[in-house]
Chains A and B, each alone.
Chain A
Amino acid sequence: MREFKIVGKRVRKVDAASLVRGKPLFTDDIKFEDMLHARILWSPHAHARIKNIDTSGAEALPGVHAVLCYKNVPRVPHTTAGQGWPEPSPYDTYIFDNKVRYVGDRVAAVAAETEEIAEKALSLIKVEYELLPAIFDPEKSMEEGAPVIHDEPDCRQVLPLFYDPKHNHCAHIEVKTGDPDRGLGEADFVIEHKIKNHYAQHCTIEPHSCISYLDPMGRIVVRSSTQVPYYARRIVAQCLQVPERMVRVIKPRIGGGFGSKQEIVVEDVCAMLTLRTKHPVRLVFTRPEVFVSSRTRHPMVMRLKTGVKKDGTITAIKMHVISNTGPYGSHCMTVLGSTCAKTLPLYRCQNIEFIGDTVYTNLLNAGAYRGYGVLQGSFAMGIMMDEMANAIGMDPVDFWIKNTIRKGETSPIFSALSEIGKGAAQTVDSCALPECIGRGAAVFGWREKRERYRSQPDGSIKRGVGMVCTVHGGTVALLDMSSATAKMNEDGSFNLLISASDVGGGCDTVLSQIFAETLDIPLEDVVVYSTDTDVTPYDKGAYASGTTYLSGLAVIKTAEEIKKQILKVAADMLNEPQENLKLENKGVVSAKSGNRVEFGQIAKRSMYSKDQFQIAATASEFSHLHPQTFTAQFAEVEVDTETGQVKVLSYVAAIDCGTAINPTLAEGQAEGSIINGLSYALTEEFIFDEQGRVLNPSFGKYKIFSAPDIPKIKVMLVPSYEPSGPYGAKPIGEPAIDGVLPTISNAIYNAIGIRLTESPFTPEKVLRAIKEGKKGH
């Protein structure tokens, strides 16, 4: 266990004090003079052509400054996916189109002097629709004769990726390693299941928010609650048909993201309205709009077939997936890719077949959501592992231990596939999974509870336990890049300029800790600033659990550059060679003479006195491989067999994220992840009617956990050391949520002998399954 001065310490989040005071830190907390308010007209139909749209009534309303629709906005095919460039998602979206593809799709937008006037203006827009048949079933979407959702000639993939929109088929991935058919043949038991996860909304408490305005030079400034400021800049520029230098994106505090703001949901239309009206324009979604018209999780239909020998060897894994991306293809390939590329390396199995297809439907628009395919893949595999263990009579803990990857090992999946296509071979350089399993099981009381629940008491209440292991590789290897800039101030402090886009997880704090550790300065001497694309250097943004890891590496590199400059000046001031000198406690000290010079002195000298230059550096790092974060998760549930209600009594997660730069923040990420996963597993559900409309776009009817719903939960950070990571750190943002669905399914199975393979595990589903006597295979 390496000890550091600030890294690994539970320091307070740097923005916490201002947040608890309710300071105006969020996008919608600042008003601008002459600001207009934007509202969007949404489609009431799942699939229709706009035959005509008459905006004259709206335009004539006093106080209305602009009404936009497909008629007066340039048609620029693009993707809203917040990804690197060129994007591995099809360019199938337009600011406004003359076709609508789901209930909640954009039709028009208004900017007016008050929100009320804008609202009234919406009601004055007359739209004539030609209804088209809609397709809602992803398993039927590719069939001949199914309604074609993207029949426009200008939709395309910009990378040479599979794309067959005529069959609603927007991604296809095939991976094969070894000989899966032979593997199945060698098995003593072959298990088959169809596993389905469901639509979910991120439910960030802050809705999607944006204010855009023209600065005095005529540039478009976009202030937005975005996880991907640089992508927002690029895509806004693309849609408005202006060069990137004409757009500036500023990210204030974000009230939660979880992937829903890794998309250009509001910025393009807001900026376009500013361009037209020359006014600042405010566009803030209402809650129903967040539910229906922002983004959701990809529902997948996963068909699994695995083979296992009596001795516990997994002989083959076959996974066929149909992923439903909704009406537009943002993240359609990458989420699918991750389902294989980031899930399957966990397993010691050489014979793997993965065939995945993503399809369009006229339901909700799926995009990035914490877990990003790995949640879906782990759901499926977590169940299969449990079934295999049960089939051969092995305790799941032993089965997982036997079949999961270890430090120094590799998986054929690494080189076969990555999120974006071609893989990159790698070995696992740090893995504390055995300790996670061991310590997690001990703290949870696994063996004792398994024994206890072999026999259930009479009565309607049954209890059971389940467990699962997961892996989640952070970043998108060979693609993601992060940078940081730092400059020194007279008092020896530093400005740390980053675009890493803290969504609330605390990366501003974590990166400050990393910077402070590298230069051996107190945390308060790091003034972190995030994010402004005019000022802070490029960072991919907050996704793929890459901020601690990759932005952290960039910050270290930047600090090392600064170190060199400091030592050079110090050497001159102390008149000693640099070899004698080292950084210590906000100063430089000579190991030889004991002489010392403070950072403040160094800064003042280099700023004002001699050989003046600004001590500053910018450095970048790009991701060479995926650092693998492992978890072992355990749940104890109570099932009321008369009402079908499932109550989680306790939940333990042991997580190997390498070095936890800030254990409090890391725990916070894990705890939040798990509770999100639990309400996803048990209570969250979108209800649609036959016309594809969402019937429950509110917190009152789409239920997420409140405080009294949480179980006893314990998160344990099990340390390892990732040599490629900043001070040994690995990602933490996503891994925990991946394991919740299968852990609960496994616990329910242990309690009542019924295997639930379709989430959410609502009381109704459980009760019906009990009544129908649904069992295992």
Chain B
Amino acid sequence: MDVIISANTRILTVEFEYLEPETISEAIDLLTKYGGEAKLIAGGTDLLVDMKNGKIRPRYLISILRIPDLNYIIEEADGLRIGAGTFFQEIVDSQLVRDKYQLIHDAAMSLGTAQIRNMATIGGNICNALPSADMPPALVALDARVKIAGKDGERTLPLEELFVGVRKTKLRGDELLTEIVVKRPPERSGTAFIKLAKTSEDLATLNVAVRVTVAKDGACEGARIVVGGGIGPTLIRSRKAEKILEGKVPNETTIKEVAEAACEGFQCRPTSIRASPYYKTEVSKVLVKRALLKALENVKEGAEG
């Protein structure tokens, strides 16, 4: 674990150039040109802290803040498209998101403070790839896909496949995340987001995002169960747990089984600042159980996010 007692958090000592492309292709050109010496920067709330702590020393910072094409929230027939450069406060303020995609609203609200939400972008939060990030579990629970643009063109992949490890994504050096597409959950769906942290302003020790879809007879038709926090190098979506629910009318035993399955395969760090592996494993099960119960309660007629 890094020891930062000598870090001067008051100043930046790294020398770098600050570049402000105005289009996505300009940004790609710069990334291609400067390769490993460049870092993309949006709000800077993670990147500048890492630079102050001496963890990252880029020679070029490529800002995405002046690219208007990255900032939008657009409703489609079957989902939502959010530009990677959209600020969290904009997501929180969006009536559309609050009405139809409650899960995303809740995750965005739990993120940081008013100040951070005005600076941090959804793309930045995703690309920083911290397993404790609040937004990714909610997005994965809504089957989010991400659009990536690079010198060889565009590609999309499911968000859950983007994360490779702590602070590691599948993005290549010349690529940037441009859009997040979220699917509208089917009718008779309910969602829930639960975050456990030490105080109200804190990174998650654990977070859980859940979506369940229920048939008219009460049997579960589909589910997404995602656990994040300090439980491994990336968030974990448990297809095994989701399968247990399928076709069953959830009762106390089923939910217990689901929770147990959802919390298998954690790779908690043996020493952690926030909680021990024992605590995280035990309590994740509780949070998954509670999120499921809450999501089931939230099931309403009409598509619910």
A–B in direct contact per CB < 8 Å: yes
A interface residues (Cβ-Cβ under 8 A, vs B): 39, 41-42, 44, 103-104, 115-116, 119-120, 122, 284, 286-289, 291-293, 642-645, 679, 683, 687, 689, 693-698, 700-701, 703-709, 762-764, 767-768, 771
B284 → chain A, closest Cβ, in Å? 10
Residues in chain A near residue B203, CB distance under 8 A: 700
A764–B279 CB distance below 8 A: yes
Residues in chain A near residue B11, CB distance under 8 A: 115-116, 119
A643–B10 CB distance below 8 A: no
> Does B267 interact with chain A (Cβ within 8 Å)?
no
Q: Mind listing 24 A-B residue pairs with CB under 8 Å? A: A41-B6, A42-B5, A115-B8, A115-B10, A119-B8, A286-B9, A287-B9, A288-B4, A293-B5, A642-B286, A643-B286, A644-B279, A683-B199, A698-B4, A701-B273, A705-B199, A708-B200, A762-B198, A763-B275, A763-B279, A763-B283, A767-B279, A767-B283, A768-B278
Query: Cα distance A708–B8 when bound, in Å?
Result: 30
Residues in chain B near residue A104, CB distance under 8 A: 5
Given A120-B13, A642-B283, A687-B273, are A286 and B7 neighbors across the interface (CB < 8 Å)? yes
Residues in chain B near residue A695, CB distance under 8 A: 1, 3, 273
| Chain A residue, CB-CB nearest to B206 | A643
> Does B95 interact with chain A (Cβ within 8 Å)?
no
Residues in chain A near residue B275, CB distance under 8 A: 763-764
How many residue pairs bridge A and B at CB < 8 Å? 90
Residues in chain A near residue B279, CB distance under 8 A: 644, 763-764, 767-768
B4–A697 CB distance below 8 A: yes
Query: Cα distance A439–B200 when bound, in Å?
Result: 32
Residues in chain B near residue A705, CB distance under 8 A: 199
Query: Cα distance A110–B195 when bound, in Å?
Result: 44
Given A643-B283, A764-B279, are A706 and B5 neighbors across the interface (CB < 8 Å)? no
Residues in chain B near residue A44, CB distance under 8 A: 3, 6
Query: Cα distance A709–B13 when bound, in Å?
Result: 36
Residues in chain A near residue B276, CB distance under 8 A: 764
> Does B196 interact with chain A (Cβ within 8 Å)?
yes
Query: Cα distance A719–B181 when bound, in Å?
Result: 63
Q: Pick the residue among B1, B10, B196, B283 that contacts A286 (CB under 8 A).
A: B10
> Does B26 interact with chain A (Cβ within 8 Å)?
no
Residues in chain A near residue B6, CB distance under 8 A: 41-42, 44, 122, 288
**Chain B interface mostly:** loop
B112 → chain A, closest Cβ, in Å? 10
A288–B9 CB distance below 8 A: yes
Residues in chain B near residue A693, CB distance under 8 A: 3, 5
Query: Cα distance A687–B9 when bound, in Å?
Result: 20
Query: Cα distance A605–B232 when bound, in Å?
Result: 81
Residues in chain B near residue A39, CB distance under 8 A: 8
B277 → chain A, closest Cβ, in Å? 11
A689–B1 CB distance below 8 A: yes
Total count of chain B residues near the partner, CB < 8 A: 28
B43 → chain A, closest Cβ, in Å? 16
A696–B8 CB distance below 8 A: no
Query: Cα distance A364–B283 when bound, in Å?
Result: 32
> Does B201 interact with chain A (Cβ within 8 Å)?
yes
Can you list the 8 inter-chain pairs with the closest CB atoms, starting with the nearest? A708-B200, A706-B201, A642-B286, A703-B198, A764-B279, A703-B199, A683-B198, A292-B5
> Does B154 interact with chain A (Cβ within 8 Å)?
no
B4 → chain A, closest Cβ, in Å? 6
Residues in chain B near residue A644, CB distance under 8 A: 279, 283
Residues in chain B near residue A679, CB distance under 8 A: 199
Query: Cα distance A122–B279 when bound, in Å?
Result: 41
Given A642-B283, A763-B275, A763-B279, are A709 and B5 neighbors across the interface (CB < 8 Å)? no
Query: Cα distance A708–B286 when bound, in Å?
Result: 24
A136 → chain B, closest Cβ, in Å? 15
A94 → chain B, closest Cβ, in Å? 20
| Chain B residue, CB-CB nearest to A704 | B199
Contact bitstring B139-169, A, C-beta under 8 A = 1, else 0: 0000000000000000000000000000000
B194 → chain A, closest Cβ, in Å? 10
> Does B50 interact with chain A (Cβ within 8 Å)?
no
Query: Cα distance A116–B14 when bound, in Å?
Result: 10
Query: Cα distance A643–B284 when bound, in Å?
Result: 9
B198–A694 CB distance below 8 A: no
> Does B17 interact with chain A (Cβ within 8 Å)?
no
Residues in chain A near residue B13, CB distance under 8 A: 116, 119-120
B interface residues (Cβ-Cβ under 8 A, vs A): 1, 3-11, 13, 196, 198-203, 271, 273, 275-276, 278-279, 282-283, 286-287
Query: Cα distance A687–B4 when bound, in Å?
Result: 13
Query: Cα distance A99–B271 when bound, in Å?
Result: 30
A103–B8 CB distance below 8 A: no
Residues in chain A near residue B10, CB distance under 8 A: 115, 284, 286
A48 → chain B, closest Cβ, in Å? 15
Residues in chain A near residue B273, CB distance under 8 A: 687, 695-696, 701
Residues in chain A near residue B8, CB distance under 8 A: 39, 115, 119, 286
B203 → chain A, closest Cβ, in Å? 7
Q: Pick the residue among B5, B198, B271, B283 that contacts A697 (CB under 8 A).
A: B5
B199–A709 CB distance below 8 A: yes
Query: Cα distance A695–B1 when bound, in Å?
Result: 7
Residues in chain B near residue A103, CB distance under 8 A: 3, 5
| Chain A residue, CB-CB nearest to B289 | A642
From B5, B7, B196, B276, residue with most partner A Cβ within 10 Å = B5
Residues in chain A near residue B287, CB distance under 8 A: 643
B5–A289 CB distance below 8 A: yes
| Chain B residue, CB-CB nearest to A693 | B3
Residues in chain B near residue A292, CB distance under 8 A: 5
A551 → chain B, closest Cβ, in Å? 35
Query: Cα distance A675–B282 when bound, in Å?
Result: 30
| Chain B residue, CB-CB nearest to A706 | B201
B4–A709 CB distance below 8 A: no
B231 → chain A, closest Cβ, in Å? 15
Query: Cα distance A292–B5 when bound, in Å?
Result: 7
Residues in chain B near residue A119, CB distance under 8 A: 8, 11, 13
From B11, B199, B200, B278, residue with most partner A Cβ within 10 Å = B199
B201 → chain A, closest Cβ, in Å? 4
Query: Cα distance A104–B198 when bound, in Å?
Result: 26
A83 → chain B, closest Cβ, in Å? 27
A562 → chain B, closest Cβ, in Å? 46
Query: Cα distance A764–B271 when bound, in Å?
Result: 14
B136 → chain A, closest Cβ, in Å? 19
| Chain A residue, CB-CB nearest to B9 | A286
From B4, B10, B276, residue with most partner A Cβ within 10 Å = B4
14 new A-B pairs (CB below 8 Å) besides A122-B6, A292-B5, A762-B198?
Answer: A103-B5, A116-B11, A119-B8, A120-B13, A288-B7, A693-B3, A694-B3, A697-B4, A703-B199, A704-B199, A709-B200, A767-B283, A768-B278, A771-B282
Query: Cα distance A764–B196 when bound, in Å?
Result: 12
B102 → chain A, closest Cβ, in Å? 20
Query: Cα distance A472–B166 when bound, in Å?
Result: 49
Query: Cα distance A683–B273 when bound, in Å?
Result: 12
B5–A288 CB distance below 8 A: yes
Query: Cα distance A763–B276 when bound, in Å?
Result: 11
A183 → chain B, closest Cβ, in Å? 42
Residues in chain A near residue B200, CB distance under 8 A: 706-709
Query: Cα distance A39–B10 when bound, in Å?
Result: 12
A251 → chain B, closest Cβ, in Å? 23
Query: Cα distance A39–B11 when bound, in Å?
Result: 12
B272 → chain A, closest Cβ, in Å? 9
Query: Cα distance A707–B113 when bound, in Å?
Result: 11
Query: Cα distance A519–B8 when bound, in Å?
Result: 51
A703–B5 CB distance below 8 A: no
Residues in chain B near residue A764, CB distance under 8 A: 275-276, 279
Query: Cα distance A704–B201 when bound, in Å?
Result: 9
B271–A689 CB distance below 8 A: yes
B193 → chain A, closest Cβ, in Å? 16
| Chain A residue, CB-CB nearest to B276 | A764
Residues in chain A near residue B199, CB distance under 8 A: 679, 683, 703-706, 709
B78 → chain A, closest Cβ, in Å? 36
